[in-house]
Structure 1
C-alpha cells in the first residue's frame, strides 16, 4: 500500500486560491506541486488538475473538479489543528471564519482550554483546539 493523503476537491476553480490561503495562515507550510489543465484538456485551462501542499508537515492533495457536483465538503471530515497559544488560536479562527460559518464558536467547552469548529469560505471544515 502506498501513502495515505487527505484529498480535497474544489469546485469553481478555487483549489489554488484555497492552497495559497491555507499556506499563508499556517507556518511551515507550502505548495509542493501544481499541474494545471492546458488548452483542449478536460478542465478549464489554467485550473488545478492535481496539486499537493503541506500544512505543518501534513500533506494534502487537491483538484479543481471539471464536473459540477451536487455535493461539497462536510463537517464530518475536518482539519484538526492543535494550537500552542491563545493568540495563535484566536488569530487562526478569525482568519478562517472570514466569509465562513461557525459550527462551534471559539469558547471553553470543558474538554479543552479553548475550542472552535468552523467551515471556511471554501466550505472546508476546521477544528481549532488549545489543549489543556
Structure 2
C-alpha cells in the first residue's frame, strides 16, 4: 500500500523539543514511535507522531545541510472554533514568526500563517 506522510528534518538535536511543542499544541496527539540516533548527541533518528489523525515523521539530521524549512511547504490545519484557532496561533508562533496575522481574508472565517520556533510553517484555518 502506498502511503504519504509529511517528513520534518531538523538541523541539530532539536526534534525532541519540536515533538514536545507539537504534542502541547495538539493534546490528543501522540508519539507513535521514536528511535534515538546511536550517538545520543545527535538526537532522534526517526519518530512518528499522530497529530490530529495525521501521521508526521520527525528526525534530527546528524549531517549539516545547506537547506532548511521554507514556508512554501506547510502543514495546513482546519480547526472547529475560534478559541482553538487562537490557542494554536499563540502556541505555534511563540519564538517563531507570523507570516499572515490572524484575520478574515475572505476565504474562511479566520486564518493565520505562522512559523514555529523550529522553522516549520503552519497554516491555521477556521473554515
**TM-score band, normalised by shorter chain:** over 0.9
2:33 alignment counterpart? 33
Deviation at 1:107? 0.5
Deviation at 1:24? 1.6
Deviation at 1:19? 1.1
Aligned length: 127
Deviation >4 Å, runs of 4+: none
Greater Rg by CA: 1
Q: Distance in 1 between matches of 2:23 and 2:91?
A: 12
Gaps of 5+ in 2: none
Q: Does the CA-based 8 Å contact 1:28-1:57 persist in structure 2?
A: no
Gaps of 5+ in 1: none
Specify the SS of the correspondent of 1:94.
helix
Aligned Cα RMSD in Å? 1.3
Matches within 5 A, 1:48-59: 48-59=44-55
Q: Distance in 2 between matches of 1:45 and 1:123?
A: 21
Normalised by the length of structure 1, the TM-score is 0.90
1:7 alignment counterpart? 7
